[in-house]
């Protein structure tokens, strides 16, 4: 029993000794690591302090120490720069009119139908001319008698028979009836309503059997020629836009475009929307119809010798707008004066000559006097 106890005691002592040795070594290593970290932190502070002192004494030191930023570059563009005002316009026709009756009567026949294309002089409608025809027959009979009386009175007057007043009265009556007959014939012609120009019947405004008076609209007709586009422009462009300015027109519904010019500018500001009218010439085009929607790009500015840069490269700070240019392997902040912007390009009025190299990709990662590495 005593031997057993001694054996267990010896085993326990050996186990304790064997476990305590590695633990002391691990603790020692941890303590050593902590010491190294403290030394490294202190050394880092000293390095930063020394770098700051060196940078103050030698500005080139920090430039050389800074890591280069990988970038791409581009050149400013020199040449023509144009600015356009974009507005929505509508196709209109100078020959969008109502064709009206010129005489009284009842509609006897409507020859055309809505949507029908007709030519100048083609019959649109017929108005009953019965009363005019009766008057024509009556005047014709009176005129035949008046002409016979005049001819006889003229022969007598040449033979010095009768008085001059009888001759003149006969002549006057005949001429008056001739004029009345011509007037009635004109009225009869007007009972046939004809198209005054080539166009399309947009709407029938009367039906067969309706009584019409002079001025009563019969059809609405739109001409095929003399189309133009009208748009509303903000009053801020008063004095900027002018007659003859270039215009680019696009018709979204038929996906067609063309270039033309401003033909007229309104002189009145609409108080409701603060705009004025602009009229643009429209040549004859297939499938272009009145009231069709169009997009107008009207040129209001042009510089044939402008310096332009992509708009996204222009940054802003408290001093103003600037871009980054590359000089001797460094990114330099260059302040610029901006002009107009159109389609992602901005005109530079001052600050760039056009020969500079601009930082493109990576322009947000660089700063003033940053070292840069240009990607091939």
pLDDT of residue 62: 60
Cα gap 220→279, rounded to integer Å: 23
pLDDT of residue 360: 92
The torsion angle over the Cα atoms of residues 155, 160, 166 and 169, rounded to 10 degrees, is 60
pLDDT of residue 55: 63
How do beta strands 293-310 and 246-251 pair? antiparallel
- Grouping H, G, I as helix, E, B as strand and the rest as coil, residue 262 is strand
Instruction: Say which residues have a Cβ less than 8 Å from residue 347's Cβ, sequence separation at least 6.
Output: 81, 303, 306, 307, 308, 338, 339, 340, 341
The torsion angle over the Cα atoms of residues 158, 161, 162 and 164, rounded to 10 degrees, is 30
pLDDT of residue 67: 67
- Grouping H, G, I as helix, E, B as strand and the rest as coil, residue 285 is coil
pLDDT of residue 312: 94
Instruction: Look up tokens 């509303």; give the residue.
Output: 232
Sheet holding 211-212, edge to edge: 192-194, 123-127, 105-110, 211-212
pLDDT of residue 41: 79
Cα gap 29→23, rounded to integer Å: 10
How do beta strands 69-71 and 370-374 pair? parallel
Cβ 147 vs Cβ 106: under 8 Å: no
Cβ 71 vs Cβ 323: under 8 Å: no
Separation in Å, CA 311 to CA 315, 322, 343, 360: 9, 11, 9, 11
Q: Token pair for residue 91? A: 């196709």
pLDDT mean for each 10 residues of the chain (376 residues) = 46 46 73 85 78 68 66 92 89 85 86 86 84 78 84 80 80 85 79 85 86 88 82 86 85 89 89 90 82 87 92 92 91 92 93 91 87 84
Q: What is the DSSP string of 306-360?
A: EEEEEGGG-EEETTEEEEEEEETTEEEEEEEEEEEEETTEEEEEES--S---EE-
Instruction: Look up tokens 């008698």; give the residue.
Output: 145
């Amino acid at each position: 029993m005593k031997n057993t106890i001694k054996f267990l005691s010896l085993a326990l002592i050996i186990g304790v000794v064997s476990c305590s040795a590695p633990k002391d070594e691990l603790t020692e290593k941890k303590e050593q690591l902590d010491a190294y970290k403290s030394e490294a932190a202190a050394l880092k502070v000293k390095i930063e302090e020394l770098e700051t002192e060196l940078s103050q004494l030698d500005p080139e030191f920090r430039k050389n120490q800074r890591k280069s930023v990988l970038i791409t570059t581009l050149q400013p563009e020199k040449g023509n720069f144009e600015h356009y005002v974009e507005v929505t316009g509508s196709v209109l026709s100078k020959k969008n009119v109502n064709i009206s009756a010129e005489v009284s009567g009842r509609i006897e026949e409507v020859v055309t139908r809505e949507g029908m294309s007709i030519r100048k002089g083609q019959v649109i409608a017929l108005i009953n001319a019965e009363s005019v025809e009766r008057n024509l027959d009556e005047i014709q009979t009176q005129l035949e008698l008046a002409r016979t009386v005049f001819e006889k009175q003229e022969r007598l007057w040449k033979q010095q028979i009768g008085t001059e007043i009888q001759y003149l009265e006969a002549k006057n009556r005949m001429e008056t009836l001739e004029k009345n007959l011509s007037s009635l014939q004109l009225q009869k012609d007007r009972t046939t309503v004809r198209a005054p120009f080539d166009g399309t019947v947009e709407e029938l405004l009367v039906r067969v059997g309706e009584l019409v008076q002079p001025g009563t609209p019969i059809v609405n007709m739109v001409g095929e020629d003399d189309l133009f586009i009208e748009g509303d422009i903000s009053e801020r462009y008063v004095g900027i836009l002018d007659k003859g300015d270039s215009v680019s027109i696009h018709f979204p519904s038929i996906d067609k475009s063309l270039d033309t010019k401003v033909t007229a500018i309104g002189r009145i500001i609409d108080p409701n929307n603060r705009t004025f009218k602009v009229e643009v010439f429209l040549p004859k085009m297939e499938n272009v119809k009145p009231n069709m929607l169009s997009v107008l790009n009207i040129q209001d500015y042009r510089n044939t010798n402008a310096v332009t840069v992509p708009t996204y490269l222009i940054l802003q700070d408290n001093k103003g707008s600037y871009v980054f240019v590359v000089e001797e392997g460094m990114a330099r902040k260059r302040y610029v004066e901006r002009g107009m912007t159109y389609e992602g390009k901005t005109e530079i009025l001052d600050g760039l000559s056009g020969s500079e190299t601009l930082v493109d990709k990576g322009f947000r990662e660089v700063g003033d006097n940053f070292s840069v590495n240009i990607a091939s």
